[in-house]
Amino acid sequence: MTDRANSANVALADIRTRMEKARQRFGAPPEKVELIAVSKTFDAEAIRSFLAAGQRVFGENRVQEAKEKWPGLREDFSEVVLHLIGPLQTNKAREAVALFDVIETVDREKLAAVLAEEMARAQKRLPCFVQVNIGGEEQKAGVPVDEAVDFVRRCREVHGLDIVGLMCIPPDGQPPAPYFAHLATLARQAGVANLSMGMSGDFETAIAMGATHVRVGSALFGGRG
Ligand SMILES: *Cc1c(COP(=O)(O)O)cnc(C)c1O
């Protein structure tokens, strides 16, 4: 086994062990918590070692970058599930629908409408998450907290999107737990089952607060430099 393949195995095993411990420690429900390996900025060769180690669920934050890396990787590995976790411009929606399996960043009416149109055209119905600006930060994407429940309803009823959950990125430099708890409350109110929350620095806390999907990049792949 090459060093690179070995370190992918070790990193994956380490994160999976920590996820399982967090789940047990906090008595979260026994259903599986999905590990999304965030491969943004890492090249196809680095990703290949994680695919070889058995990881199949990945996250990318840019359409263009995903387009350069993933069609080739998908030829060599089946059953890849690729999540879009970065902001999506409406003029990239068609490409996003072609490249990704899950869209986590639905956060405005116009995008919901365009995604619905592109999915109909492609005869695909991708599962989507609504991104919530849980800290009410001006510079961050996401629907405002007080509009989240109604936005989920409109995505479903007006646009026919398959909204399966909520996603958030809490503010930097503050304890994330209250934000994760708030997202969980909103999800219950909106009637969605999944919570995509938690990154390398806080995925255990997120699992304690009910995350069903954690998005882990640097703790798996190393620093992004
Ligand atoms: C980069 C990124 C992650 C992963 O961050 P790490 O701290 O490297 O684990 C998770 N979610 C989103 C939306 C990201 O852009």
Percentage of the chain modeled with pLDDT above 90: 91
Q: Whose CA is nearest to atom 10 of ligand 1?
A: 215
40 CA: nearest ligand 1 atom: 1
Is the CB of residue 198 less than 8 Å from the CB of residue 15?
no
Q: What angle do CA 27, 217, 104 make, to 5 degrees?
A: 75
Closest residue CA from atom 4 of ligand 1: 217
Q: Please give the distance, rounded to the nearest whole angstrom, from the Cα atom of residue 38 to the centre of ligand 1.
A: 6
175/40 Cα distance (integer angstroms): 25
Q: What is the DSSP string of 131-199?
A: EEETT--TTS-SEEGGGHHHHHHHHHHTT--EEEEEE--PPTTS-SHHHHHHHHHHHHHHT--EEE---
* Per-residue pLDDT tens listing for the chain (225 residues): 678 778 999 999 999 999 999 998 877 665 789 999 999 999 999 999 999 999 999 999 999 999 999 999 999 999 999 999 999 999 999 999 999 999 999 999 999 999 999 999 999 999 999 999 999 999 999 999 999 999 999 999 999 999 999 999 999 999 999 999 999 999 999 999 999 999 999 999 999 999 999 999 999 999 886
Pocket lining for ligand 1, CB < 6 angstroms: 38, 40, 61, 85-86, 169, 199-201, 215-219
219-140-196 Cα angle (round to 5)? 50
Pair 178, 184: CB distance under 8 Å: no
Please report the domains of the chain, with CATH numbers, ordered by start residue: 3-221 (3.20.20.10)
Which of ligand 1's atoms lies nearest the C-alpha of 167? 13
Residue 6: predicted pLDDT: 85
Closest atom, ligand 1, to C-alpha of 200: 9
What's the pLDDT score for residue 61? 98
**From ligand 1's centre to the CA of 209, what distance in Å?**
18
DSSP states of 16-82: HHHHHHHHHHTT--SSPPEEEEE-TT--HHHHHHHHHTT--EEEES-HHHHHHHHHHHHHHSSS-EE
CA of 110 to the centre of ligand 1 (A): 25
Token output for 46: 């680095």
Each residue of 45-71: pLDDT tens digit? 999 999 999 999 999 999 999 999 999
SS3 126: coil
